[in-house]
Amino acid sequence: MAPEIPDRPPPRLETGAFGWVRRNLLWPWYNAVLTALSLLLAWSAAKPFWNWAVANATLTLDPAVARQHTGAAWGYIRDTWPIFMTGIYPAEERWRPLAALVLVLALAGLSLLPRLRRGRALRLAWLASPLAVFALIHGGGFTGLPAVETHYWGGLMLTVLLSVVAMAAAFPLSVLLALGRTSELPVARPFCVAYIEVVRGVPLITILFMASVVLPLFLPSDVKLDKVMRAMVGITLFFAAYLAENIRGGLQGIPKGQYEAADALGMGYWKKMTVVILPQALRIVIPPMVNNFIAILKDTSLVGIVGLMDLLQIAFATTSSPKWFGRLEEANVFIAFWYWVLCYGMSSYSARLERKIPSADR
Amino acid sequence: MNQRPAPPQVPFWRSPQGRAWTFQIAMLAAFLWLVAAAYSNVLANLESRGISSGFKFLRNEAGFRIGETMGVPLPGWGVFVILAALAAGLAASRLMARRARSTPGPRGDAWFAAGVLACAGLPVLALWLTRDAVDVAHYSETSSYGLALAVGLLNTLKVTLIGCVASTFLGLLVALGRLSPNWLLRTLCRWYVELNRNLPVLLQLFFWYFIVLQHLPDVRNSLSLGEWAFLNKRGLYVPALVPLDGAWPFCAALLAALAAAVVLRRRSRRLRDETGAPGRWVVPGACLLLALPALSWLAAGQPFALELPALKGFNFQGGTGLSPEFTALVVGLTVYVSAFNAEIIRSGIQAVPKGQREAARALAMGEGQVLRLVVLPQAMRVIVPPMTSEYLAIAKSSSLAVAIGYPDFVSVGGTVLNQSGQSIEVVGIWMGVYLAISLVISLGMNIYNRRVALVER
């Protein structure tokens, strides 16, 4: 019997940190060139940013002191961040949006508890939460709080409210549109097709202009919709069309046998849809719907063009005041941070869902 | 007797069809009622504001300045002549190509050459004949609202076209970077995508316009590339090609040569497929491409002059100036969309099964051939449909120009809307035109898609 040859260790060049560096960065020769070029690129972008944002930056609340430094004046953010959060919402009432936020976060936290998640109480609480949030932020009426009209709303609060309301309102509309488009009704189907295709073919800005300039003409003269409501209507109508196409994709992904089985059980159209088809279809399209939500959040930044005080407009408002004049860089970084955290958070959550959901079926 | 029991009578409104119709009629009635209510409201509201409806206002004098204008070619009878010549040329070349196929040998080749000439020459001739028939209108403050809108539309199309091409190439680069075995490059490209995808495009436009461009040096200290290009706060200045007298014949000759080269290539490909003879088109095509323009250059004299931008007084004179608004819009849109395009291209390339590459290599194809003949054609099927949506998105997002003051279609329309108060008409024109642009883009991409799509039985 031949003597057993012991395994030799792999060459030192191929293992460990050294091997990793060689494999990923240095070999073959053109990879080393690419590495050098990438380093140069990263360095040339990162170094000025580092100098500006950290090395030469100040945290002082005194603009005069900040002006003596070449870097960022983060004191500007320290000074104005409440405005970024709620816009020109009266300062002494700012606890109300905060309370609304705490309320929603508390509900979300409770939903993480498996025992409560299945309970009816939590579901009712979620259903009641929009009313509670509105009552807190708007006030007036039965609440006993001084009313804060919508034109005082702004900043991140407005951005999030606009996108949440648009998502919530666009959802049922888009389900109807998708059902209409996939149905065989000779009147309803072309209507839905036309609506979806027209809305998807025009820019959001024109829809916003329509909502802010043309919509009032269509309404009786005694009905007054304020600017925020008009923007909400516009964004909702816009995203319903995009959402409807996603849901249509989900509907098309349901095997015909499911429809036939529901028919065989003698279900009517609405029962078949709400009990059998839609739950499955909507589950398939959760990831694209999250993408849609990201798009809504990003696109609410356009409402500034029709005169609302969203995050971007706050940046212009606070940097045109004499105190912190021209600190647009800091403002942009701050806004970018919020958008990025929210959008990246949602997209990585959707990626996780995408990995999780099919495995439940297969 | 075998008698089937009569089916129970279901009232019409409880049968599925009956319910569907009831529902639809109710829907139609509700819709009509809404339209009628809106219509009467509009009439009342317009009357109370003293606005007359209709499109007559398009003839009124605009009276405002537009920062960037292009000459608007107004279609005249020349358009019909050119279209007719195009059709005639195509028909003639078809006929002669059939003749060429049925008569082999040099006579067939002669027929073929005549076909090529007809196909390329007739439209060029028509272009040459009608060059003065197409009126080019230049916008000024005394022009009409209609012309102002046309200028805005041309500006939109310019941004869209450049944005589509540039974002595709940038996206391809980033996609290749993300597929690179080099960890550092891969990571950089990943963060490029994550950063751009998750920030609103409007924020990015503001970043380019208010921050990057504002930090550029002023006019006196422009960044320069020799004497050729200058970059400063007021924009980018590059040399301009000024057409001289010879420009028309030169362009016509270039067009004709291009058309002829394309036809040559198609013919040699077909010959190769039919007979197996190696199709040679590169050398004759290149000769054609060089010879025709060169001849016209010699015959008609110098066609273009190169005009360099030069600092005179407080600003640059001569050359082509790209305004900061235009630059910011194009750069911002390109960077934003390139992140999406990169992901689309990457997913397309990754969708090609690994076995396909391995099989191609086993057939001794070179790396370039593998990419060109095996990977890309299959990746295209995955890439083209979502890429169409991105091109549509560029066309639509270019409307954000209004936020940084570039006079695009929406921006000019907004001014018209504010001045004339014709909000319904202007919004209607916006929607109609954007729908038409979207339609044209998706039509073109669908035709292309049909060519690259999987051919199935």
pLDDT of residue B213: 86
Find the closest chain A residue to B421 by CA distance. Answer: A213
Q: Is B443 an 8 Å CB contact of chain A?
A: no
Q: Do B206 and A332 touch (CB under 8 A)?
A: yes
Alpha-carbon distance of A198 to A284, in angstroms, equals 26
Q: Do A202 and B19 touch (CB under 8 A)?
A: no
- Tokens 């600003």 correspond to B315
Find chain B residues with C-beta within 8 A of A267's C-beta. Answer: none
Find chain B residues with C-beta within 8 A of A41's C-beta. Answer: 188
How many Cβ pairs within 8 Å bridge chains A and B? Answer: 152
- Mean residue pLDDT across chain A: 87
pLDDT at A39 over 60: yes
Q: Choose among A203, A213, A332: nearest Cβ to B203.
A: A332
> How far off is chain A from B212, nearest CA to CA, in Å?
10
Helix, strand, coil percentages for chain A (3-state, nearest 5): 75, 0, 20
Residue B128 makes CB contacts below 8 A (sequence gap 6+) with B248, B249, B252
pLDDT at A83 over 60: yes
Alpha-carbon distance of A330 to A319, in angstroms, equals 10
pLDDT of residue A362: 41
pLDDT at A3 over 50: yes
pLDDT at A265 over 80: yes
Residue A358: pLDDT band by 50, 70, 90 thresholds?
low
- Alpha carbon distance, N-terminus to C-terminus of chain B: 52
pLDDT of residue B339: 95
- Tokens 């001014």 correspond to B415
Q: Which CATH number fits domain A153-361: 1.10.3720.10, 3.40.30.10, 3.40.50.1460, 3.30.470.30?
A: 1.10.3720.10
pLDDT of residue A62: 86
> What is the secondary structure of A13-46 as a DSSP string?
GGSHHHHHHIIIIISSHHHHHHHHHHHHHHHHHH
Query: Rounded to 5 degrees, what angle do the CA atoms B204, A170, A220 make?
Result: 100
Q: With b meaning 16 or more CB within 10 Å and e meaning fewer, what string describes B298-312?
A: eebeebeeeebbeee
> How far off is chain B from A142, nearest CA to CA, in Å?
33
Half-sphere exposure of A269 (CA within 13 A, CB side): 15
Q: Is B233 an 8 Å CB contact of chain A?
A: no
Here the ipTM equals 0.89
pLDDT of residue A220: 85
pLDDT at A113 over 50: yes
Q: Is B209 an 8 Å CB contact of chain A?
A: no
Find chain B residues with C-beta within 8 A of A205's C-beta. Answer: 399-400, 402, 410
For residue range B162-175, list pLDDT tens digits in order.
999 999 999 999 99
User: Which residue ranges of chain B lie beneath pLDDT 70?
Assistant: 1-3, 6-8, 13, 104-105, 131-134, 279, 454-457
> What is the secondary structure of A316-358 as a DSSP string?
HHHHHSSTTTT-HHHHHHHHHHHHHHHHHHHHHHHHHHHHHHH
In the stretch 20-79 of chain B, residues with CB closer than 8 A to chain A read: 20, 23-25, 27-28, 31, 37-38, 41-42, 44-46, 48
pLDDT at A360 over 50: no
pTM over 0.90: no
Report domain extents, chain A: 77-148, 153-361
Q: Is B424 an 8 Å CB contact of chain A?
A: yes
DSSP helix/strand/coil, B449: helix
For residue range A166-204, list pLDDT tens digits in order.
988 999 999 999 999 988 888 888 999 999 999 999 999
* Selected residue of B196, B394, B427 to mutate for chain A interface (largest A Cβ count, 10 A): B427
Q: Is B242 an 8 Å CB contact of chain A?
A: no
Alpha-carbon distance of B370 to B376, in angstroms, equals 8
Alpha-carbon distance of B330 to A29, in angstroms, equals 36
Half-sphere exposure of B301 (CA within 13 A, CB side): 5
Between residues B6 and A262, the one the model is more confident about: A262
Alpha-carbon distance of A65 to B379, in angstroms, equals 57
Q: Do A34 and B185 touch (CB under 8 A)?
A: yes
In the stretch 281-300 of chain B, residues with CB closer than 8 A to chain A read: none
- Tokens 């035109």 correspond to B433
Find chain B residues with C-beta within 8 A of A218's C-beta. Answer: 38, 41-42
Query: Rounded to 5 degrees, what angle do the CA atoms B274, B117, B92 make?
Result: 75
Q: How far is CA B447 from CA B270, B375, B440, in A?
A: 21, 21, 11
In the stretch 140-169 of chain B, residues with CB closer than 8 A to chain A read: none
Between residues B165 and A14, the one the model is more confident about: B165
Q: Choose among B206, B417, B434: nearest Cβ to A203.
A: B434
pLDDT of residue B189: 94
Q: Do B41 and A339 touch (CB under 8 A)?
A: no
pLDDT of residue B2: 60
Find chain B residues with C-beta within 8 A of A39's C-beta. Answer: 184
For residue range B271-292, list pLDDT tens digits in order.
777 777 776 777 877 887 788 7
Q: How far is CA A304 from CA A165, A227, B402, B406, in A?
A: 17, 11, 11, 17
- Dihedral sign from CA coordinates of A338, A339, A340, A345: positive
Q: Do B399 and A203 touch (CB under 8 A)?
A: yes
Q: How far is CA A272 from CA A264, B57, B172, in A?
A: 10, 53, 45
Find the closest chain A residue to B418 by CA distance. Answer: A213
DSSP helix/strand/coil, B2: coil
Q: Do A34 and B44 touch (CB under 8 A)?
A: no
For residue range A127-162, list pLDDT tens digits in order.
888 888 888 888 887 877 888 888 888 889 999 999
Find chain B residues with C-beta within 8 A of A301's C-beta. Answer: 200, 202-203
Q: Choose among A219, A304, A339: nearest Cβ to B198.
A: A339
DSSP helix/strand/coil, A62: coil
Q: Choose among B42, B201, B435: nearest Cβ to A201.
A: B435
Question: What's the whole-number mean pLDDT along residues A215-225?
Answer: 83
A 10 A CB-CB count for A183 gives 17
